[in-house]
Amino acid sequence: MYKPTEAFAQELDANDPFNQYKQEFYISEDHIYLDGNSLGLMSKRAEESLQQVMDTWKEEAIGGWMNSEHPWFYLSESLGERVAPLVGGKPEEVVVTGSTTTNLHQLVSTFYQPEGNRTKILADELNFPSDIYALQSQLNLHGYDPDEHLIQVGSRDGRTIDENDIIQAMTEDVALIVLPTVLYRSGQLLNIRKLTEAAHERGILIGFDGCHSVGAIPHNFHEDGVDFAYWCHYKYVNSGPGGVAGLFIHENHFDRTPGLTGWFGSDKDKQFDMEHTFTKAQDAGAFQIGTPHVFSAAPLIGSLALFEEVGIDAVREKSLQATAYFMYLVEHELSDFGFTIGNPREATRRGGHICLEHDAAASICKALKERDITPDFRAPNVIRLAPVAFYVSYHDIYRAVQILKDIMTNETYKQYQNERDVIA
């Protein structure tokens, strides 16, 4: 299917509908950016929407809450409606608010209701640390020892989690399950529907962290029956560093009062009555805590326009082909240099990045940066490479592998210490 030639990469680009979108992003012609699974690039449209909001503040001052193209008072809800197609939620089930970990605290505060024998939270041992810290914190707040009440399903190979092992751990003492959609190191995509159905068959609520999938992979949170989900937008959705996060609440739970209440979770018609009785919104908007971070949300206005033009299904199609092509070139060109592909090969189990394992991973990443390629290192031995659909071309992938081959052939990576920088 693939060929290891530069001409073939150029042929793929010639037939790629995303080829026109690279010019929408700020990146030098020679730079190859493969770290969009950590922080997406700035698009010109995101820049424009941020500038528009700044101009509104300058010209309207407090009037911007209602008198603007995107009224700030409704910004979290209006952006939620636009994000909903990316996650497969109804418009009223999604709101753009908070940060990933703040939203997780909100959701666990709401859905973790230990009772009788059901006191434990089920997670996995490969999850992102911030999620585990939050779950430990929530257990402590309820007076439970995390060492006993936080179950972390083990990995059989150190890279992936077997869904059957997760299901086997869904015992009668589990009150809540929190899992990633995609494992951040290996890029494994979990079977969300299978896990949700298994949890509900056992009377357990389940939620998902979509940070490493939203914007790269279509989801069907509503149809799958997921109770809740949360994610960031600064990775694949390109909303900028510290961009406002998002959360999904299945409509079956709209009657729940949020565990953490704040005035922006109020019914919009009642919010400025200033009463000391909380009248919550009747949708996901109820789960907001504080005032929208308008400037941090503003770039999302522009970045979402790109997804609305192409559709998340097309993004996924390009992502799958790009990662498959990347793996092909790695196996064809780098087989003599000790690399192992640590991500799942199957399209149904693969996220938006490939995971290369190597004992000198940190050194190799530093060498790549010196050659104007931005990779991502994850301890102890993982190089994550994300060929983001909008701004990584097939020729970029070809060049990246050729440069990596040169680095390994000439052993230039050995001049760098094999340890991470402060930020990896």
Annotated binding site for pyridoxal 5'-phosphate, which residues? 100-101, 128-131, 209, 212, 234, 263, 291
Binding site membership: which residues? 100-101, 128-131, 209, 212, 234, 263, 291
Task: Say how far apart CA 164 and CA 171 lie, in whole Å.
Answer: 13
